[in-house]
Structures are given as C-alpha cells and as structure tokens.
Amino acid sequence: MNLFLQSPVVVAHELDQRIRLQCRILKNRDLDPDYVEARLESIDGVQVVRVNTLAGSVVVHYDGRNGTRDLIISRLIAMQGKPSNGPGKIKNLHSELSLIFRGGLTLSLLLYPPIFRAPLAFLLAIPVIAEGISTLWNRGIKVEVLDASAVLFSLARRDYFTAASIVFLLSLGEYLEELSENRTTGLLKSLLKPQVETIWIEVDGQELALPIGEAHIGDHVICGPGELIPLDGVVISGEASVNTASITGESVPVHVMPGMEVLSGSVVEDGRIIFSASRVGTDTAMARISTFLENSLRYQSESQKQSDELADKLVPVTFGLGLGLLAVTRDLTKAAAVLTVDYSCAIMLANPVTVRVAMYTAAKQGVLLKGSQAMDSLSRIDTLVFDKTGTLTKGRLMVTDIHGFSPFTDNDLLCLAAGAEEHYSHPVAAAVLAAARERNLTLPPTSQVDFIVAHGVSAYIDGKNVLVGSRHFIEEDERIDCSMVAGEVAALQRDGKSILYVACEERLAGIIGLRDELRPEASAVIRELKLTGITKIAILTGDAELTAKALAAQLPMVDEVHWELKPEDKARIVKELQQQGRRVGFIGDGVNDAPALVSADVGICLPGGADLAKESAQVILLRDDLRCLLAGRIIALRGQQTIKHSFVAAVGLNSTFLLLASFGLIQPVASALLHNLSTVGILGYAGLRGKKTPELKIPEPTLRELP
C-alpha cells in the first residue's frame, strides 16, 4: 500500500501475457475510463484493456513482450497530472462467472431453510447498500441510492428472495449495459490502428532498421506487401496498390507511383515502394486522426451533458415518489417496485452509444468527426457556406489565356509569374508552373520572395520587383493602373475564368486567365443537402463579380454569392449570418479560410486542406469528394434522431413501469426485470441504427451507397 502511495503506477499482479496495474488516476471522478482504455489499446501488441475505477486498477492483455509492457506502464504514468474533463463514470469488471455465482445463490434461497435465507440475502445485498450509502454521502440522490433503497425495503419486509433477485438483476443489467457500451466504444477504438515500432529506411543503397521514434523528415522509407505505411510521404521509386480504408474509408485500393503522396495508416497490398518521409511523429495523418478519436472518447457534447443533467434530475423524482407512496400506503412492496424503476440509465447511456457508433460509421464513409460536439453541430446547421476554390471546384486550375504587354511577350509574362510563384503551394501557383513546364520555359532565379496570404506574391527577378496576384492586390494595394485591360478582363470573366495580374517595376506586365472546373458532384450534393434541412447555401470567393456569377449560374440551388473577399471578409459574413439567428457551417481548405472555420458553428475541411485549416475545423472529409459531406450530414441527423427516439422510449417505458408499480400491478422483481430489459433494448436500438450506411441518391456519377 505504501508503494502505491509513492508511485503513480504499481504492478498488482502479472502473468506472461496479462498484467493488472493499480493507478491513482483511475480513481479520478472526472476521468472517462473509455479514454484510458483507448489510449492503451492503441499500443501495438495490446489486445484487450479493462478498467475498474472502484479498485483503481486496469487489466491489460498483451503480447507478453517487455517492450510492450514498458510502454503500457509509461503511457499510464504519462497520463498522471493531466486535466481530466471526461464524463467521469464508474466502471466495474463484471464477469459471467460472478453473474452465475450470484444467480445460483439467489435461486438457492428458495431451497435453504428460513434461518439461512436472511444472512445470505444480507451478504448479497451489502455491496449494493454500501454503494448507495457512499453515493448519497458524496454525490446526493443518484440511481445507486434508488437501488439500495429498493433492496433495503425488500429486506425490511423479510422478502429475502426478492432482495437477492433485485441485486442479481442489477448486476445482470449492468453487465449487459457494459457489454453494449463496450462494443460501441470498441468500434471507435478499432479505428485507432497501432503504429509500427520499427521502420526500414534506405541509406546509400543499404536497408537499415530504425525505431519509428528516430525517423526524420526526408528519410527514404521502404514498404512492401502487407506492411503498414508508418509515416506520411511522397513516393520516390516503385509502384504499389495501397489500401487506404483505415484513413479515408475508401474500400478500393489506390495505385501509387513516384510523385504521389502516401498516408500513414494505409497498407501496401501489392508491390513495393520507397517514399521520402514528409511528416513524422504527431504530425502524421494517422497520429492526428488518433488524437481526434481519443479526444472524442474524453469529452462530452452539449447534448450529452444536457441528457446527463436531465437524468440526474429524474432520479430524485422517482425517489420522492417511492417515499411518498410508502408514507401514504405503508406498502413496502409498492415502494420497492417503484424504486427499481430508473430513467437515468437509458437516458445517460443511449447518447454516448449513439454518438460513438455514428462517429465510427462516419469515419468509414470518409468523414472524421472531432468528437460528439462536432456531430451535434453538423446535425443542427441550417446554413452552409462554401469557399469556392478547391471546395466547390476541383482546385486544379489550368492556364487558358496569356496576354503580355510590350515589352513582355506571352512567354516572358509566364516566366515572371512562374518564377515568383515557384515556391508557393497554391492551386494558382501549380497551374502557372504547369503551363511554364508545358512550354519548356527556363525559370529565372528569384530572391526576396514574400507571400501575402489571399493577395499574391512579391519577388525580385533579375533585380526587378515582380508582383503577381489579384486585381485588389495589384491595383488597390500597390497602386498600379490596370484600366488598360478592362476589355480583356471582362471577356475572360464572362467565360467564368479567374484573372491573375502580373506587374513588373510598378507597371502592369500582363494578365493570365485560368479556369477551374466545377466538381461533377457539386450540384447534386447541394440539392441533396437542401433536402436534409439546409435552408441557405452561400458561396464565398476572392474572384471578381463576373467570374463568381458565372460559377453560381451552374449551381441554381445556391442562394447567395459573395465576391472579391479577403480572409477577414469570410469570417465577417459567417458572423453576420449567425447574427440573423442561423446555425452556420463553413467548408474550406486554405490558410485564408481558418478565420471563417473558427467563426462558424461547425468548420468543415477537405482532405487536401492546409494544416491550419485542418486544425481549425471540427469536421474533416477524408476523401476529396463532397458526397462525404452529405454522408456525414445524414449520419449526424440520424444520430440526433436516434437520441430523441431513445429518450422518448426511455421516458415512456419507465413511466409505464412506474405507474404499474405504483398501483401494485407488478412486483419489485418484475419491475427490475422490465426496467433492465428496456434499457438494454434501447441501447441495442441505438447501436444497430447507427451502424446503417446512408444511401446517397446522386445521379451521374451514380453513387447509391458509399463504399
């Protein structure tokens, strides 16, 4: 015991592949044991983890390796002292053996002589009564107090079989509820794929094994058939068929070749590749997804908190009714029957079960929900605001027109623009560089490159200052006259093309026209989103008015279009919509979208979005397909509907049982049995309904159901 007080983690018992640890953090009332289990089960080599909060211990089944054992202990130690903001629930280790033992003792009461029945019933009832007294003293009138009172009333009537039966049914109900919740939590935890411990890298033509913790950006990592890709990177040699289902939800393997990106957590099904690591440690895709999922097990949404608060308020109502009935009728049987009926179990458990199954289903459909609050928010929005470039459009711009002004030829103009944009990661830059490569142009050396977010680029080429960007940047910010190209610009914009302005030494050098195609699924997805209750669709873009309106003409379901916007303008429009009483979702993918993503009720980011955009968003699409957004919306709506159905069923059924018990129409044992069966049934409904895959009725390309 002294050792436990000195050390945060103590080995209480150990076998070859099983270890029981005592840990002070497990007695923290604010900690969710499911979060602890998820953290430990994400360790490679760990099979099953079970927490017992009452004993302050955790049992771990693992592969028996010393490295795995040390990692389990070190991860538990690392949790010490961290803030705990979870739902803070009690979790026991109920087993089939203990249930059979209790059931056997209960039945034996019918056979034993009366002199043995009282001691045996009291022995079985002691844990329930003790827990009720402890709960009343520390937390007030909760469900444990109801259970203890029902058992005490039965003992007072000398109805020992009923008292023992209630204890057994309580244990059976807790076991079945725990089994149901463990399965749904297990679905979510199954997405926390373990990282590999060792990777193979190529150094000077030789293959070397390296602990994954020592990997660096730029390492050449080797992956063969059946191996988990441990890091994010870009393929530099070889080809392979890669299964990305655990990351993107896409069931069809992706063929990768040099130049293509690979994500950690994917599995090489066939072939062999060598890739250059671009992200390591906590920056990898799998590490980030794991963090989001772990946090989803740790924090409650507002609706879940409200459900818990309501459930807590209903417990004193039942308790008061039971005591009131006893005072009026002097009938201990009726009072005990009433006290075995509890609203809180089904109400409190249905919400997390529904949320976790919904998050699992959403992840399999290519939508990552960052916790239960994200699901709540996605289901409640009535307005959806789209950033245009890369969101409603493919984000793969193509140069269509080049107009250079004397003394600059078209090729000179393209060289200036490509030279300035060469190191800028943006669809416009990629399009300009691609056009320069197609013409086999040699790019000039650049210096003093300065990126102005959502405006443009300033650079020095051959000692001359070159500016590339929007008209707002060139004409309004830099005071360079652009009036001479008004005719050409108007013609390009009428065709729905974006305009890139290029200036050199404080005079306009020319303009470049670019076109970005609308996503083929965009129109159908917007139409279907409106059918789910989205009443307003808005598009925000930095493009000129004519270009923006040309795009909107292709999307008749869009209600508003705003053009020539700065990043702060997007956030301002989102706040204006919120001030009108709307719940707003914003979907974007760029650094300039971060303010709007944070301001919205729910921010949604595409998979290719900038890191800042992904951090700011609450929902991340794992596939570059807007149909994932529609699937996520349907799953979120279904989840909220399931929570409501479960609440109505819990209140309706338990109210019926309460009424029957009050009139003496059912005995305490029947009351306890009906209550537990209804709770398990409601949890089963919540779990099964949430696993159903949404059907998406979208025309060409037809997609009846996401893979």
Q: Which domain CATH number covers 270?
A: 2.70.150.10
**3-state secondary structure at position 198:** strand
Q: Is the dihedral of CA 74, 80, 84, 87 positive or negative?
A: positive
What pLDDT, on a 0 to 100 scale, did the predictor assign at position 302? 67
- Judge if 424 and 500 occupy the same domain: yes
- Partnered with residue 101 across adjacent β-strands are none
Number of domains observed in the structure of the chain: 5
Q: Which domain CATH number covers 414?
A: 3.40.1110.10
Q: Is the dihedral of CA 619, 624, 625, 626 positive or negative?
A: positive
Q: Mean of the pLDDT values across residues 51-59?
A: 80
Domain membership of residue 628 (yes or no) is no
- Judge if 246 and 104 occupy the same domain: no
pLDDT, tens digit (0-9, with 9 covering 90-100), for 439-472: 988 888 888 778 775 578 888 888 889 999 888 8
pLDDT, tens digit (0-9, with 9 covering 90-100), for 79-109: 765 545 455 556 655 556 666 777 777 777 7
| Total-model pTM | 0.69
- Judge if 605 and 546 occupy the same domain: yes
| 3-class secondary structure per residue, 7-58 | CCEEEEEECCCEEEEEEHHHHCCCCCHHHHHHHHHCCCCEEEEEEECCCCEE
What pLDDT, on a 0 to 100 scale, did the predictor assign at position 41? 76
| Residue 496: closest CA among 364, 382, 397 | 397
Q: How far is the C-alpha of 699 from the C-alpha of 104, rounded, in Å?
A: 60
Domain membership of residue 152 (yes or no) is yes
- Judge if 408 and 387 occupy the same domain: no
| Residue 525: closest CA among 703, 302, 690 | 703
Find out whether the peptide bond into 407 is cis, omega within 30 degrees of 0.
Answer: yes
- Judge if 416 and 502 occupy the same domain: yes
- Partnered with residue 697 across adjacent β-strands are none
- Judge if 112 and 19 occupy the same domain: no
Average pLDDT of every residue of the chain? 79
Q: How far is the C-alpha of 146 from the C-alpha of 539, rounded, in Å?
A: 55
- Work out the widest C-alpha separation in the chain, in whole angstroms: 113
For residue 429, give every residue at least 6 positions away whose Cβ sits within 8 Å of its Cβ, in sequence order, or none. Answer: 421, 422, 457
Q: How far is the C-alpha of 483 from the C-alpha of 251, rounded, in Å?
A: 53
What pLDDT, on a 0 to 100 scale, did the predictor assign at position 610? 63
- Judge if 160 and 303 occupy the same domain: yes
Range of the domain at 523: 367-393+519-621
What pLDDT, on a 0 to 100 scale, did the predictor assign at position 136? 81
Question: Who wins on pLDDT, 237 or 280?
Answer: 237
Domain stop point among 251, 279, 307: 279
**3-state secondary structure at position 456:** strand
pLDDT, tens digit (0-9, with 9 covering 90-100), for 214-262: 888 888 998 888 787 888 889 998 888 887 755 554 555 778 888 888 8
Q: Which domain CATH number covers 48?
A: 3.30.1370
**3-state secondary structure at position 666:** coil
Domain membership of residue 707 (yes or no) is no
Whether the per-residue pLDDT at 361 is higher than 80: the answer is yes
- Judge if 115 and 167 occupy the same domain: yes
Q: How far is the C-alpha of 320 from the C-alpha of 56, rounded, in Å?
A: 33
Domain stop point among 515, 546, 578: 515
What pLDDT, on a 0 to 100 scale, did the predictor assign at position 575? 92
Domain membership of residue 705 (yes or no) is no
pLDDT category at 602 given cuts 50, 70, 90 is very high
Whether the per-residue pLDDT at 535 is higher than 90: the answer is yes
Domain membership of residue 463 (yes or no) is yes
Residue 454, CB-side half-sphere exposure with 13 Å CA sphere? 21
Q: How far is the C-alpha of 286 from the C-alpha of 650, rounded, in Å?
A: 38
What pLDDT, on a 0 to 100 scale, did the predictor assign at position 706? 32
Q: Residues 666, 667, 672, CA angle at the centre, nearest 5°?
A: 95
Domain membership of residue 633 (yes or no) is no
Whether the per-residue pLDDT at 603 is higher than 80: the answer is yes
Whether the per-residue pLDDT at 474 is higher than 70: the answer is yes
Least confident interval from 163-172, 320-329, 468-477, 656-665: 163-172
Whether the per-residue pLDDT at 702 is higher than 50: the answer is no
CB 215 within 8 A of CB 277: yes
Task: Kindly report the backbone phi and psi dihedral angles of residue 480, in degrees, each rounded to the nearest multiple of 5, phi listed first.
Answer: -105, 130
- Judge if 16 and 63 occupy the same domain: yes
CB 448 within 8 A of CB 466: no
- Judge if 184 and 305 occupy the same domain: yes
Domain stop point among 93, 111, 127: 93
Q: Which domain CATH number covers 540?
A: 3.40.50.1000
Whether the per-residue pLDDT at 1 is higher than 90: the answer is no
- Judge if 145 and 47 occupy the same domain: no
Output the six-digit token pair for 382.
Answer: 């009535």
Q: How far is the C-alpha of 110 from the C-alpha of 116, rounded, in Å?
A: 11
| Residue 171: closest CA among 96, 88, 247 | 96
Domain membership of residue 289 (yes or no) is no
- Judge if 534 and 612 occupy the same domain: yes
Least confident interval from 2-11, 39-48, 66-75, 630-639: 2-11
pLDDT, tens digit (0-9, with 9 covering 90-100), for 676-697: 888 888 888 888 887 777 776 6
Question: Who wins on pLDDT, 198 or 416?
Answer: 416
pLDDT category at 385 given cuts 50, 70, 90 is very high
For residue 38, give every residue at least 6 positions away whose Cβ sits within 8 Å of its Cβ, in sequence order, or none. Answer: 185, 188, 189, 192, 293, 294, 297
**Helix residue ranges per DSSP H, 587-667:** 594-599, 611-616, 627-662
Whether the per-residue pLDDT at 312 is higher than 90: the answer is no
Place of tokens 């998050």: 359
Domain membership of residue 631 (yes or no) is no
pLDDT, tens digit (0-9, with 9 covering 90-100), for 155-210: 877 777 777 787 877 777 677 767 666 666 665 565 555 556 678 888 887 888 88
Whether the per-residue pLDDT at 137 is higher than 80: the answer is yes
pLDDT, tens digit (0-9, with 9 covering 90-100), for 540-594: 887 778 778 888 888 888 899 998 787 678 889 999 999 999 999 999 876 667 7
**Helix residue ranges per DSSP H, 330-397:** 332-339, 344-364, 372-380
Output the six-digit token pair for 104.
Answer: 């056997």
Place of tokens 């740790």: 298
Residue 22, CB-side half-sphere exposure with 13 Å CA sphere? 13
